[in-house]
Structure 1
Amino acid sequence: MRRDRHPILMLLPARRAILAMALALFLAPGLALADPIGPVTKLPLPRFASLKTDRVNLREGPSKDHATKWVYQRAGLPVEITAEFEIWRKVRDSEGVEGWVLHSLLSGRRTALVTPNKKGENSKIYVRPSASDELAATLQAGVIVNIRNCDGSWCLVDGDGFKGYVEQVKLWGVYPDERIE
């Protein structure tokens, strides 16, 4: 194929210019772009949410015509929303499984999993945000907690029969240094 007949080079001049700008932005070192927002909700992407019901189908694509990859059976399970398309949200769970969920099956209620990838490890919940404070509870890995607030280091959490502070780094469902009021 001759060089001047390459498909990229045959693009209209305006499209070549757009492609060149996109490549320049992509390849520019240290370029800081604004955090993306969802085209439907205008909320930040990614962001955390939780499952509203005990039965949520995770689909391969954003429609009921796509196959179900997984069925979640745990209301309150935190998921990370990474994309939006009409009434569908692309989510990722704590194990990295991704797929599409109907928006009506998600809740804005913030929850988290305690040390989800450390089976057999217990996490300490303290009365106040200090590892030297009195213990409020000890939770097994994988327990879902409700997040009341986070200061970037500690989160006030509660659940069935407990309330207290846990180190933020031990939770999947909040970002490092994220503050929640």
Structure 2
Amino acid sequence: MSDGGEVPAGVHKALMFPSVSLRRSLLSALALLTLASHAEAQTPAAAATRPESAMPAAAEEGQDPDMSRKLPLPRFVSLKSARVNLRVGPGKDYAVSWLFTKPGLPVEIIQEYDLWRRIRDADGTEGWVYHSLLSGERTALAAPWLKSKKGALVTVHRSAAADSSVVAEMEPGVVAKVRECSFSWCEVEAGGRRGFVSQNEMWGVYPDERF
């Protein structure tokens, strides 16, 4: 038994020659420390040299989507606002010839000038309005040419067939939302009712138009 002056042979060997598992642990720890130091040194430089193209692009403002798409003329749209001034020319300096007060009313764009649109309503009234007062949402009037005919009604069917059941009837001039049109029938919604109307009984869609 030693009194502390000499180190036992077994202990001395363990300190000088650590086990294989201990050496592997020490090497792994050293490798992790090296990688961490390398990452900290590289992160600021990488952030500083990131190209601007990698950043999210800001949305462009002030563009007129109606112009960028180059939509055809003529085309149907609807009034977006409850008060739309109809002017005699394409600009705010031109006199107001009419005031529309019915949002959702279908109108037909027949001419364009810069951000102004020349429109025509179902009665044939024409004039210029600012583009932002119009909406791409499609609406239509139920047979406005039958307004003077007493008792005239437009039939709304359950399906796109003349012999399908009737779900509602609309008075001439009623505005309906048009969801889609195909094969001479349009799916519309008005007064909480939804169904199909013959395309030739609506003003606001072209004959045989599909969308």
- The structure richer in helix per residue is 2
Matched, 1:137 2:168: yes
Is contact 1:40-1:85 (8 Å) kept?
A: no
Identity %: 50
Number of aligned residues: 143
**Matched residue, 2:112:** 84
**Matched residue, 2:205:** 174
**Matched residue, 1:107:** 135
CA shift at 1:41, angstroms? 4.9
Any unmatched runs of 5+ in structure 2?
A: 1-65
- Paired with 1:113 and 1:105, the residues of 2 have a C-alpha distance of 19
TM-score (norm 1): 0.76
Is contact 1:40-1:84 (8 Å) kept?
A: no
From the CA coordinates, give the structure whose radius of gyration is larger. Answer: 2
- Paired with 2:115 and 2:67, the residues of 1 have a C-alpha distance of 11
Matched, 1:58 2:86: yes
CA shift at 1:161, angstroms? 1.5
Higher relative contact order (CA 8 A, sep 6+): 1
**Matched residue, 2:74:** 46
Any unmatched runs of 5+ in structure 1?
A: 1-37
Would the alpha carbon gap of residues 43 and 145 (structure 1) be closer, same or farther in structure 2, given more than 3 Å must change?
Answer: same
CA shift at 1:53, angstroms? 1.1
**Matched residue, 1:150:** 181
CA shift at 1:60, angstroms? 0.2
TM-score (norm 2): 0.65
Would the alpha carbon gap of residues 97 and 40 (structure 1) be closer, same or farther in structure 2, given more than 3 Å must change?
Answer: farther
- Paired with 1:40 and 1:93, the residues of 2 have a C-alpha distance of 25
SS at match of 2:146: coil
Matched, 1:162 2:193: yes
4+ long deviations beyond 3 Å: 38-41
The superposition leaves residues 67-126 of structure 1 with CA deviations (integer Å, 9 ceiling, x where unpaired) of: 111000100000000111111000000011110000010000000000011114210000
Q: What is the RMSD of the two structures over their aligned residues, measured on CA atoms?
A: 1.3
**Matched residue, 1:20:** none
